[in-house]
Structure 1
């Protein structure tokens, strides 16, 4: 069989191995990328031309539409480089089988979901905080009567108003709503940081630290709120909503939150006491792994400092706690992670 016959024989071409398979994969990838973007062959040719590889629509047609014998127009190196640039993928991904391309597409979608989901947890936290305020107010007979009177003026039937109030106050409804937030938060944690689903080699992904939330909330309720004008406090609380919900402090803090939202100052001592109680609980618990141990140490460190920046050298502070300087510094990182990451 001549070389020309071998090139035109689809069976012989398939037996040649990776080269024909790769060219077929590239052609399938081009067709797939065009479909998902809604691009015509003319648009595809324009994109390659703009990427520095002048291409005519007929060339795209010959690549994506095989001849009756199964052969396709060959793709040059320059075209392959331009294709990778247009599709926003690495050059080595271009000839991979289509299931790899589908996996990459799903991965990109999961990154989008993770990012949007993190925005959703913030909105969900604000929703729960508003619900907690409503429950707090409706538990007061005077407020409940005022709401019932308001609804009656709007010609809402008494039974309907009663059902609505009962729903907002219902313990099971509230538990279901908070459980929904916790589930969403856990899923997003499991999915990673929104940029990559796998941690760097040899590095375990750090679990979210409740100590960091408690430290942040302690600073808010012990220092910032008492020293801030009443009208500014609601905005401070708004930006701490996720930490409140994650730490489960909203029930304790709701009296303070609601008072400031209505323009009235309110003592914060009971909230600070609850935060300190939670920190002591964490510091006293038996650790199951190193992460738990560092969480416990972070809680002890926070309680020792009571929100104040220590003046002693870290080596002395570590010695007071009976730990190494490395462990002390790692625990401090956990306690103050919100400052390092810019977490609101």
Structure 2
């Protein structure tokens, strides 16, 4: 399957943190052509394995982790007129919610819209402020009896948004954070089909990243890799945001440096990019808790970790936007890195 088709398929599916089963099934089916085995752990992480050609006694173990869960909403109250009050699952940009079409996953999937008090009837103070989540509601267009027959407190809600093509290699959709990262893992596995590699490669589609990097914590603990690489998204350039806080779409993956990144892995990834003429960018992160890299690094007695990201605009909205070339370049980078890892390199990671 082509990368764009795969990403489109994942983006259009629903998998709010804690309910990723549909996404797991889709990823497992496509990854199956490029791996030797797969399993799902107790938390729901999909753990796939492509075996390397090295000796079993000293074969390096490399883990590639990208999360499949998405941010969403949850019903917390049904009022006396049948309007739904809701809360968030993960970090949603609340400013973007009013006027959105949604799907409520109750006893059946129900369409609705997010509404709020219109400016015509707001007082002057309200007109100057962003609408707060507590003042929003979901209108299902049904009476209270019908609503209560279909929906319960705790039901999940997602914004309705179809994946779409923009100009050139640019695409937009929901949950590209981080199903684009999963797509980069697929590109890596495809590239490894034509390369020799000594290492066993674990491609892990992690769950519940958006609510505390939980999937990466448990999957890393179970695998105990010699090297862990988190693949996620970072902020792409856009108006109003400084250059030092963003990366450029279409100019390659971002190789991050920070306290969660092993310096020798960072150096090796840069050298591989240069050797194979893969365009790349450098990013810095001094707040490591925002990606699976944090969970990987501090598992058990510590795992040498790297972070590779895809520039993405409008993060945590339903119109996240990226360039497909960055995913493909990232896949090449990871595959060529893996092909050059041996037991001697892994041993050297223990000495800073």
What TM-score bracket applies, with the shorter chain setting the length? under 0.3
Larger radius of gyration: 1
Which has the larger strand fraction?
Answer: 2
Instruction: Report 1 or 2 for greater relative contact order, CA contacts < 8 Å, sequence distance ≥ 6.
Output: 2
TM-score by length of 1: 0.23
TM-score by length of 2: 0.22
